[in-house]
Structure 1
Amino acid sequence: MQVDLTPHPASPRDGLMVSVDTERRADQLWLRFIVEGDTDAIEWPRKAPAIRTDGLWQHTCFEVFVRTTGGYVEYNLSPSDAWATYRFSGYREGMSPANQAIDVHGLDGGEQYVALEGVIDLPPGATGPIALSVVIEAIDGSLSYWALAHPSDKPDFHHPDSFVLEIP
């Protein structure tokens, strides 16, 4: 299934389009984030070890939020190959490192697009809809925030009303 993300109204769009392909594979979710347009204007993180790394969301980063019976899990996939997972007990509450793994497959692309593939382990008790989002850092340092839904006046990927896509 492919879905389109939209920029937050306060974010620059800069002629980009962002979409995500998703496919459920037993207890995993395969994702392919696709950014189309002037991808040369994006600040792409340099390659890094494929290890858990905090603060990825401060730069170009692809994100998934999955509800669980006890809160939700946030997944950060960086084009650098670094990744992070966090468990929350409620809306922005009780944050701790999560045990779920991410396999980031790195970037590929063409003349007018760049894509990142990854596979996430779904958490036990995954339930209800998920949220998909992307932070894009431009070469000038400005950030744009892309998601399936923007329920608040500021970008907030954790907002409960951001969870709108049923797990495929």
Structure 2
Amino acid sequence: MQTHELIAHTAYPPLEVTKVQSRIIGYDADWLRLRWRIEGSGKLVVPPFAGRGRADELWRTTCFELFLMPSGGDAYSELNLSPSERWNAYDFSDYRDGMTERPASREPNCTMRQGGSFAIFDAAVPASVIPKANCAMNLTCVLEEESGIKSFWALKHVKDQPDFHDPACFAAELAAPTAT
């Protein structure tokens, strides 16, 4: 699968993080598997373990996100995945409008590994949470480092302030899953 280089928003430079890559490592009828690799993660703040369960405002600290917009409309979905194992999924009827919690048949599996100068965050999201159509996609993350420094990483930034919801930032494609 394709690896995507994420870009830090220039208004919020990182402390020591030098590079973030994200990729879809598998997608079938059961799971969408994603991976983020963070280079220069020595001062990364990782939220403490909280166990699986939905939670809001995960983006206030280190959090990994996926935005999906099915072809032919303005509606889109947002998934928030935390190293704490907390998560949430939302549907929007239009740009930042009509937010509702997206149903999920199972909870995602999230794991964070740190080693030396890099960290890897893996997430397995139940396919039932993912729109069934081909989608425009934005892979993103908020990375908090020591002293409360936050950087905002995405496939593309188009505004003076970070805005992962902007349709112009949905710069990749996610095809419908392969059969198992």
TM-score by length of 1: 0.91
Q: Which amino acid aligns with 2:12?
A: S
Equivalent-residue separation in structure 2 for 1:123 and 1:116 (angstroms): 19
**Map of 2:61 onto structure 1:** 59
Aligned-partner SS, 1:154: coil
Q: Which amino acid aligns with 1:13?
A: P
Q: Which amino acid aligns with 2:95?
A: Y
For these two proteins, the number of residue pairs brought into alignment is: 167
Task: Pick the aligned partner of 2:150 from 139, 143, 149.
Answer: 143
1:89-128 matches, within 5 Å, as 89-100=93-104, 101-120=106-125, 121=127, 122-128=129-135
Equivalent-residue separation in structure 1 for 2:142 and 2:13 (angstroms): 11
Structure 1 residue 128 displacement after superposition? 3.0
Equivalent-residue separation in structure 1 for 2:119 and 2:33 (angstroms): 17
Equivalent-residue separation in structure 2 for 1:102 and 1:42 (angstroms): 25
Structure 1 residue 127 displacement after superposition? 3.1
C-alpha distance after superposition, 1:106-136 (max 9, x if no partner): 1113211111111223533433320011101
Aligned-partner SS, 1:34: strand
**Map of 1:33 onto structure 2:** 36
Conservation of the 8 A alpha-carbon contact between 2:61 and 2:144:
yes
**Map of 2:178 onto structure 1:** none
Structure 1 residue ranges (4+ consecutive) displaced by more than 4 angstroms after TM superposition: none
**Map of 2:23 onto structure 1:** 21
Conservation of the 8 A alpha-carbon contact between 1:3 and 1:20:
yes
Structure 1 residue 153 displacement after superposition? 1.1
Equivalent-residue separation in structure 1 for 2:121 and 2:107 (angstroms): 13
Aligned-partner SS, 1:41: coil
Structure 1 residue 34 displacement after superposition? 0.8
Gaps of 5+ in 2: 176-180
Equivalent-residue separation in structure 1 for 2:164 and 2:107 (angstroms): 19
The 1:144/1:107 distance shift into structure 2, 3 A limit, reads same
Equivalent-residue separation in structure 1 for 2:120 and 2:107 (angstroms): 16
Q: Which amino acid aligns with 1:4?
A: E
Aligned-partner SS, 1:140: helix
Aligned-partner SS, 2:168: helix
Cα RMSD over matched residues? 1.7
Q: Which amino acid aligns with 2:56?
A: D
TM-score by length of 2: 0.86
Q: Which amino acid aligns with 1:123?
A: I
Identity %: 34
Conservation of the 8 A alpha-carbon contact between 2:68 and 2:131:
no
